[in-house]
Amino acid sequence: MFIAITREVSRAIIHCELTHLARTPIDINRARKQHYRYETALQKLGLAVLSLPEGPELADSVFVEDTALVLDECALITRPGADSRRPETDIIAEILTPYRNLFHIQAPARIDGGDILQVGKQIYVGLSTRSDTNAIEQIQDFLQPFGYELHAVTLTGCLHLKSAVTQVAHDTLLINPAWVDKNNFRGVNFIEIDPSEPYAANAVMIGETIIYPTAFPQTQRRLDKAGVQMITVEADELAKAEGAVTCCSLIFKI
């Protein structure tokens, strides 16, 4: 059985951290409705959804992916790159404690879960404004007994590694090659996003299906042509906060 941890959109999201986008008004009610439909899509794919209450003073707390990496053998509690986001990890660590042995990234290292892409036993970590080599070294030490290989990946022009590349099939990555070099990734095939849709590389893969935003129809056609099964959701309101579909859940087997 798989579980997805989600968290309600905070009333403070209008004060979210922004790096690459200009601040524009966010309709909180619309964001919450879209988030609810996202949770419904997770349930439709057979996941049990554990929806946490909002963090009324934690603007970005809907983006639970950044707080942890959950593997079969253990979970890593991150130390987010933005100071304002570090209190978000407390409730996630509490929730994960019954399910996994926890490791905690220690200061001064910093890392967001959105910079971590797991493909089997290969773990790719984006070197972004939110994640650094100190964190990668700690993760390597934590995971060495479990046989994972870590790879540092350089990014250009985007917030997180998963802004630029995500997994959409067992052996296939969806990628924006303008933001990350394909040569960083081993033994996989690629579907390139449509160049007119630079933010289109983010998808949540669950089994043989992905959850994918409706905002990128040209890239969706490429995915359709490649035979990728998908459920589409509206996610444009949270996109104003530099969020994407992977950001809004932590998914793991129980």
Which residues sit opposite 103 in a β-bridge? 76
Whole-Å CA distances, 130 to 85, 151, 237 = 11, 16, 22
Looking at the chain, how many residues does it have? 254
Please tell me the chain's helix, strand, coil percentages from 3-state DSSP, rounded to the nearest 5. Answer: 30, 25, 45
* Catalytic-labelled residue, pool 16, 158, 160, 248: 160
Which of 16, 35, 158, 247 is labelled catalytic? 247
160 catalytic residue (yes or no): yes
Q: Is-contact 173 193, C-beta < 8 A?
A: no
Distances from the Cα of 48 to the Cα of 5, 32, 143, 167, angstroms: 9, 19, 27, 21
Handedness of CA 85, 43, 46, 117 (dihedral sign): negative
Angle at 200 between CA 44 and CA 88, to 5 degrees: 65
Instruction: Reply yes or no on whether 16 is catalytic.
Output: no
Which residues belong to the active site? 160, 247
